Chain A
Amino acid sequence: DAGVTQSPTHLIKTRGQQVTLRCSPKSGHDTVSWYQQALGQGPQFIFQYYEEEERQRGNFPDRFSGHQFPNYSSELNVNALWLGDSALYLCASSPDRDTEAFFGQGTRLTVV
């Protein structure tokens, strides 16, 4: 079992561009959550997907959008990138909301 895999591991984008990050959940997990972690801070919840629908959303602007596919993999899209979007983006999967979450190693996004 490969666990949660994220791609790419590192990414550099220019202000104003768009980016797509990808996540494959752990086998058997149907719930995927995305987090943004700024340096020295705790992860901030962006949104959670379940059965291809956004189930709950954190306090992030509409520039942040996502998608979940029938195989439960997920994408995070960020439009009109700001310098402040530079962070580690983490994906986590779980079999349901009341159990432990398994995290990927993250995508380090740098906006210049």
Chain B
Amino acid sequence: SQQGEEDPQALSIQEGENATMNCSYKTSINNLQWYRQNSGRGLVHLILIRSNEREKHSGRLRVTLDTSKKSSSLLITASRAADTASYFCATVLTGGFKTIFGAGTRLFVKA
């Protein structure tokens, strides 16, 4: 079963709007990462947030982590058509090396 589950599975918004994606996980983690994938090719790393951090920013991206609820969110502000992609959260379990990905959120930004 998946450690990380993204919600929603798909999201369609207008250019300029904000997009929020959520991720829930089941067990204790070292860190949580968000990746983007275009057209089924390689994944691009967006942000890594460690288990002792609550929020991180990178450009138009904002990630929060709530370890008590075992959940994270990715906010993309002022979205652009180029943000159209699949977004995945990935977790590394405490004491482990295995990175576990969720099934992803498909984001479509309409120009």
Instruction: List 15 A-B pairs, Cβ < 8 Å.
Output: A44-B101, A45-B98, A45-B100, A55-B97, A56-B96, A56-B97, A92-B43, A98-B30, A99-B48, A100-B33, A101-B33, A103-B42, A103-B44, A103-B45, A106-B41
Within 8 A of B (CB), among A41-65: 41-45, 48, 50, 55-56, 58
Contact A42 B42 (CB under 8 A): no
Q: Give me the 7 closest cross-chain CB pairs, A-B, nearest first.
A: A42-B101, A100-B45, A103-B42, A105-B42, A56-B97, A103-B43, A43-B101
Extra contacts besides A41-B103, A90-B43, A103-B44 (18): CB < 8 Å: A4-B42, A40-B103, A41-B104, A42-B2, A45-B99, A56-B96, A56-B97, A58-B98, A88-B41, A92-B43, A98-B30, A98-B92, A99-B48, A100-B33, A101-B99, A103-B35, A106-B40, A106-B41
A104 interfacial contact with B, CB 8 Å? yes
Within 8 A of B (CB), among A65-112: 88, 90, 92, 97-106
**Nearest B-chain residue to A88, judged by Cβ:** B40
| B binding-site residues for A, Cβ under 8 Å | 2, 4, 30-31, 33, 35, 40-45, 48, 50, 88, 92, 96-104
| A binding-site residues for B, Cβ under 8 Å | 4, 33, 35, 37, 39-45, 48, 50, 55-56, 58, 88, 90, 92, 97-106
Contact B42 A106 (CB under 8 A): yes
* A43 CA to B88 CA, complexed, in Å: 9
Contact B42 A98 (CB under 8 A): no
* A99 CA to B45 CA, complexed, in Å: 10
CB distance from B50 to the nearest CB of A (A): 8
Provide the residues of chain B in CB contact with A99, threshold 8 Å: 48
Provide the residues of chain A in CB contact with B45, threshold 8 Å: 100-103
Contact A48 B98 (CB under 8 A): yes
